[in-house]
Structure formats: structure tokens, C-alpha cells
Amino acid sequence: MFRIGDVEVHRIEEVMLTEPMTLLPDFRRAGLEEHLGWLAPHYYDCAQDVFPTSVHSWLLKTPRHTILIDTCGGNGKTRPLSPRFHQLETPYLERLRAAGVAPDDVDCVILTHLHVDHVGWNTRLEDGRWVPTFRNATYVMSHIEREAQDPARGAKGKPEGATLPFIDSVQPVLDAGLARLVEGEEQLFEGIDLMPIPGHTPGMMAVRVRSHAQEVLFAGDVAHQPIQVAFPDWSTKYCADPAQAAATRRRILGYCADNNTLLAPVHFGWPYCGRIERRGEGFVFLPHDLAP
């Protein structure tokens, strides 16, 4: 747990995974070796030659609201195209309760984008039906993202396995009338607004939180691994538009560096977030020493 002004921030872990170097199609071994001093051991496992990868939500407790940013993979979901998230059984809700929050306490869920590992706990299985897990919450999602991922809209014709995350984890929220579709640049609450960060997906958005002259940017998958701070042009194999993702990443790194904004993505290893500094034409990543 750490604080940004009046906002208490918790990381709610679902699983820890690893990614091979093939995550980054432009990966160069020389680039990794150049930065081993700060990447190992938390951001690069030398023995296995993999990147440790966290899958987690960010929980915000403000004086007025309880907000969950992204909802991981979820339990009991059929994921033929994503074996790492197929039929998971994790104590995610128990970890949420350990942070002092029951599902009914959450009044806002913000989905940075609608990939499989960001929407799963939107719903849970009850009496054979997928129903909203956070039934008192408004689920905020980009209308561009909804359009792109909905099998009745932009994703029409995609194989069923590719659209299952939308069908079982997004559509029930829409059907329940709990969704708020946004442009991706709205102010949601005092000190909390959205910022478009397209590229990884068409409608991905970041959540900017400001309190008492402190600022943090919960940036979804703008970067999967800290090595991308050193090499912003290295987009992942999961990016819908790698060139746009790289341009967005450079913009966000510059923003964080220029505004002393804490960068908090969803997949970095311990300590999970950090500051950005400019170094010549590039950037360096400084892990946040208050993060658990």
C-alpha cells in the first residue's frame, strides 16, 4: 500500500507469470545486457531468461469512493486462446477483502481496455450465469474499446475463442445497465480523470489521480515491462498497432518525467511502479520505494 495525497492505493494480485523475450518482437539481446544492472532480478530473471510479469488490479480508496482499476483474468473462465487464464482458481476476492474491501463496497470499476487479463473479475458464475461481481459499481469503459471488442460490432467474424472475454465478462455488465461508455478523457471525480493512450488497443485509456500536489498515472498496458522505458520503440506482440503504441509510450514517458508523475502499469514486477526521468533523448525508470 502507498498513498497519493488523500488516496490510498493497494495492489490486488491475481497471479505472477513470466514472459519470454518473444514478448517483444524488436528485442535485442545487447539492449538487455546493457541494462542488466537495474533489470535483474526483479524485472528480468537471469536463470530462466524471462521477464517476471504481474497480473493485478489497482484499488483506490478515496475519501468518497472505492475504485478498482482493471479486473485481471477471473476464475472459472474458458480461455482456449489464452491458456494461462483458462479455468483459473485464485483467491483474488480474498485478497481484495484483506485490503478491507468487499465486492459490494466497490462503487466504480475502470477498465483501461478490454483484453482477457483486464476484465475477468467483472463477472462471476452464479447459478450457471455470469453476473456482475461488483453489483453496486459503475463500470467505466471506452466506447471505442467496446466497439472494437464486441463480437456484434467491430469484432464480428472473429473466432469465438477470441471473443469469449467480451461475452462472459463484458456483455453481462452491459446487460445489467452498469456500464458507462466514455471517450477516454473525462473527469470522473474530483482529482481523477482519464487520458487516451491508444496503440496497444484502439481505445485504451489511463487513469490520472491527483491529490495534494502528488500525481500517479495508472497506465494499463502502455508498457508491459520496465525495459520498454529504456527502449520505448519496443512494442509487444499483443499490441494492435505497434507504431502507435510506441508513439503513445514515448508521450506518456515524457509526460511522467516532466510532471514527476508516478507511472503504475499493470504488469511490472516488484515494486510494480516507478518514476520516469529523462536521460538525453531517452528515459530511465526509477522504482517507487514506497510500493509493497
Per-residue pLDDT tens for 166-187?
A: 999 999 999 999 999 999 999 9
**Predicted TM-score of the model (pTM):** 0.97
How many CB atoms within 10 Å of residue 209? Answer: 27
In a domain, 123, yes or no: yes
Q: Within a domain: residue 210? A: yes
Which among 104, 188, 86 is positioned nearest to 141, based on CA atoms? 188
CATH number at residue 16: 3.60.15.10
254 found inside a domain: yes
Give the pLDDT of residue 291: 44
Element holding 175 (H helix, E strand): helix 171-175
| Spatial contact of 58 and 272, defined as CB atoms under 8 Å apart | no
User: What pLDDT is recorded for position 292?
Assistant: 41
Domain that holds residue 238: 2-287
Q: Give the helix/strand (H/E) hosting 10.
A: strand 7-19
* Domain contains 156: yes
DSSP, res 89: -
Domain count, the chain: 1
Q: Say if residues 192 and 67 touch (Cβ distance below 8 Å).
A: yes
Sequence-distant (≥ 6) Cβ neighbours of residue 188 within 8 angstroms = 108, 110, 140, 194
Task: Specify the pLDDT at position 160.
Answer: 85
All three cell numbers of 231: 527502449
Looking at the domain assignment, is residue 280 inside a domain? Answer: yes
How confident is residue 219, by pLDDT bands cut at 50, 70 and 90?
A: very high
Per-residue model confidence as pLDDT tens digits over 88-138: 999 999 999 999 999 999 999 999 999 999 999 999 999 999 999 999 999
Average pLDDT along the chain: 96
Is the preceding peptide bond at 287 cis, omega within 30 degrees of 0? no
Structure-block grid coordinates of residue 47? 536463470
pLDDT band at 2 (very low <50, low <70, confident <90, very high): very high
The answer to the question of residue 292 being in a domain is no
Model confidence pLDDT, tens digit, residues 220-279: 999 999 999 999 999 999 999 999 999 999 999 999 999 999 999 999 999 999 999 999
In a domain, 115, yes or no: yes
> Given a cut of 90, is residue 290 above it in pLDDT?
no
Q: For residue range 39-64, what is the model confidence (pLDDT) as tens digits?
A: 999 999 999 999 999 999 999 999 99
288 vs 190, higher pLDDT = 190
The whole-angstrom separation of Cα 48 and Cα 253 is: 29
Question: Who's near 2: CB < 8 A, 6+ residues apart?
Answer: 9, 288, 290, 291, 292
State the pLDDT at residue 33.
97
